[in-house]
Structure formats: structure tokens, C-alpha cells
Structure 1
């Protein structure tokens, strides 16, 4: 019965139609109807359930010859991102029909993948969609950036930019767990409410309604800034940076302010201030800490189950809405992790 149903359903993919110039638009993407995949030895046929869209994918859409890691998306090839999926058919000892898995998969409804590229999701830790949000790369980036680089101590003042997003909201809550005074920067009144009411931050600053951010940071952080977790860059970075304390730690996680810029603006040069304050600034990606992933997931899962961390998903339903969900990231629509729900779990 199941195979007949599957055959009736059309398989679809979303490919990169052209390299965007500046802001990504709908015509950056193209939908194709494709055949149902067959599953070979040591492969599984998977059905996408939750597809994650992240601002950092924007750089992979540009033309690039500098792409040693093979991260750039190719024209007329499917775009890939972190996905939670269900195994529909398996030719592997390690995975069975019905298993929930995650990995970096193509934007397709169905696909067959090698078992080397997938991992099982543990549904007992937290809801399965968190495998690509709180317990995925966003949560891990928040954890390692805050804990390993920020090294927050009780009583420190911590500032997080992009604080209502997938990474920032977890980073800010970790600082709160560590006994810090936490100030979050975001861009809508709803996000400020979320930071102050739902996440319990000491202060939220709406940068879109603030004329002088440097002064606003100074007012919110009368004792200066000890830890700065930056997801945004640009002028917000400059404003927080002007308020850092001696021995401040700055974790550079993202620079969404510049991702769509054809000519990124030239900001102040930080070297002099870093010397003056004996401060440390470090860029990172979550994969720098791969050997610590499992411990971090366990710790985040514990905090979640103890009610110390909450997370929010901005869930959009329907495969056809994936491009719009990605584009929406850059106008600041989402609170929490931007996700697209593509299908429901099947019972086997």
C-alpha cells in the first residue's frame, strides 16, 4: 500500500536558479518535479519532515572559485540544509523503516542518501525538530561561543546581538544560567517582549527604535560589557565594542548585517581598543568543537528538561514555502529558529 501512495505523490526539488546579486529573491530558486529515488545498498530512502533555513547559507549562493570545502551551491543543483527526515525504506543494517534521522540533505521531498551522512535523532531528549535547532548547529554554536569563548562568570555583563534568533536566544539563556546580567539586542517590539518576558533577560534593546546605540548600550550596561556574543556585526558591533571592559571576551558567530551587501561597509579597526582593554575577540564555527558535540547536546537537553532553557521555532508549513522562509530571515521576521515543516511522521 505504502509504495503506491508514494508513487502517487510527486517528488519535488528546489534548485539554485541563479547566483543572487545582493538580496535573495524568489527567482533565485526554481522548483522541479523529479523521479522517486531508488535505494541502493548502504543507503536509506528518506522523507523530509523539517527543513532548516539559516542566514549563513546566503554566502553559499554566491559565485565562488574560493570553495575548497565544496560548500558553494551549484547552479541547477538542489540546495542543501540541515533537515530532520524519516526513513521510508532501508538497505542498511543500522537504520530501519520509521527511524528519525538528521543531516545536511537536499531540498527534496524524498531522496536516497548514504548512511555515512546521517545520524539518528534521539526523540527522548527533546522534540525531534530540535535536532536542527536547539540540539543542532544553532544550539551548539550558542553553547560553544558562550561557554568556550565567552567564558561567562557570575556577575558578568553579557550582550547578545540577534538575541531573538535561533543562536542568540540560546546563547542569552546560557549566560543567564551562568548568573550573568544579560542584555539582548533585537529589532521589533515583539522580539523585545520575547527577550524580557519569555527569556527573562535583564534588558532588551530595539536597535530599530534607538538613535544612539552606543549610548543605549552604556545605559543598559552601566558597568561595561564583559562578554559580547555577536551574530550581527556592522554598526551594532561598533556600538557594543565601544563599551567593552578590560579582559572582555568577544565571540564572533555571525555577521548577518553584511551577508547581502555587495560592498560591505568599512567599520572601525578594533586592534587599538583590543590592546587598550587587553580584550580577546575570536571568530568560530560550531564544528571547531566537534569532539564535544555529544556532551553539549546532553547539557542543553538537561537544561531544557529542567525548564532552564526554552526555545522557539518559527514554523512555516509546506515545501513550497521554503524559499520564502529563507528570504524572510533577512527582514527579521522570525523569532527563534526559522523552520519549514514539510510532512508528518508516518506510522509503520
Structure 2
């Protein structure tokens, strides 16, 4: 589901033409379009000509009207992207510019390189149809494990190279997981989940069973899923969407990667793609790449389900408020998310040690 159109296209083109022209008089903006993807950040595709040559760039605008998250961390996200672009070998789209002045587009925005490639679709689910479903089974497996490889590359980065102070929520003496959980738990009203029994039960369980910090916390991508990777064939050529980035345990990302895939199959009643690697295969592969056993994965899967239920509640409310769906429409996004969270919590708490890592 895309962020709804928030601005006049002709006026936007005029403003961006002026903005780019001030930076380079050789630059002429020829078109501005809005892609059909993205929950929380408005994205614009800008085509321009510079000294006679065509060029395409991507602009991501800080959320204002359509806010999925209650906090403003856009400047932090920009700085993380800047550091990753300059100081790591991760394939993040090159950061061209950052405009903190909201007078141009109504909010701060960043400018990044356009990256050619294909992205697995959430809507409709790649388990249901699309280019991923059309791949031969061996290619599908390579695609999935290439995403797992990217997780490991992120988690093996030295923390100092990504500016830990930018993302750490603070709280001396508290674990990284507790700080991460508190960020969401303190905003249940904003997300629209304050009275949700399943969400409250999950939160109580998460607070009671905090696994601590068995390894030094590092960079967590946040929205770590195959749908946030651009692929050339089965090779990732860009890692997208760092708005949920944090400092924490690597298992946070692995659990989200598994959980969001589960949501796009079991969560919406769609069979998984044949030959698609399962949880056990993924876990074993990731452990080899990370170089250590995964710990407390069941806990982090519940944590993933808890956060996803908050996000879907907020998106559902926005969809109704912005008339993206007619009033009274059965909009199953949040209902499905809560049902999957309830199953995940039941599975995790039913096993000895309350851990589904094995």
C-alpha cells in the first residue's frame, strides 16, 4: 500500500526544478512521479537532464501528514545512510543530498541514486504471484539466502563505523532490547493498540522474558525483509528503508525477516512458495554466516509480531482516515497481524524454555 498523494504534482515539479537549478544551473527537471509502494515515507522519482545527459534520482520525504511512527528520526536515518554509504561495503543507494529546510516540499527530504532492479512485492504477496513466484526453485532459494547474507553483512559491521550514538535510545543499566521495546510500548495509544488484549499480553510476556544482551549490541536494520532489497537477478544491489534502524541484538533482524515472510504466506492464508527455504534452513544458514549460534529467536519472533501489530493498527487507521478504503470495508491487514501474533506467542510459550530457536 502506497503513501497517498500528498502534494500537487505540477507544484512539486516547479519547486524541485528550482531547488536542483540553484545547485546546478545545468540541471533541468523533466518529470516527477510517485511509485506505488511504501507505508510510511513519501517517495518521489525525479527524472532530469544535466548537461544534456539524462539522470534519474529518488527523493524520500520525511513523513508529516501520513505518519506511521510517532517519533521523528528522519535526520538520524539520513546520517546512518551517509555513514553506511561512505564507510561500509553495503549496497545502499548513494546519498546525493539532504535538505533539512521544510519550505521546499513541506518537510525535510533526502536525494539518493536510482538503482535499477526488481523488488519482491508485498501486495500482492510474492508467495501468490509476480516475478519471485515465476523463478525456478533453485533461483528462489538463492534469492532468499542472498537476503540472509545481507543480514549477516549488516550484523558483522563494526559498531563504531555506523555511529552508535545516533541510534541508541539511552537508558543506563537497561538492555538494548528493553530500550527498543520501551520505544514502542510507550506509544500504544498513537498506534491504536492500547486496548488490544493480544498486544497487551505479548507486551507483558516480552517484558518478563527479556533475554538481555548476550553479545555486544550492534547495528539492527529494523525493517529487515526481502521486500526491502532491490535485486539484479538473485543478487541484492541495494538495501532500502532504514527508518526502523536501531542498536540491538542481531536476532531482532533475523526474526523480523522470518516473521514478515510468514505474514505474507500463512498470515494471509497463502501457501508458501514451493522450495522456499523454511525457518530451520534459514536459521542454520544464518548461524554459519554469523559465526555463532542464534539465541532466543522465539522471543524475538514475538517481538517482531508485537511491533508489526502496532504498525498494521496504525496503517489501518490511516487508510480509513485518508479514505484509501471506503468506511466499513473489511480491511484484514491488522486482523491478520494480530491473529499471527497470537499464534506465535502461543507457540513460543508452549515450549520448554519458551524459546523456538531450535
TM normalised by structure 1 equals 0.24
- Larger strand fraction of residues: 1
- Larger helix fraction of residues: 2
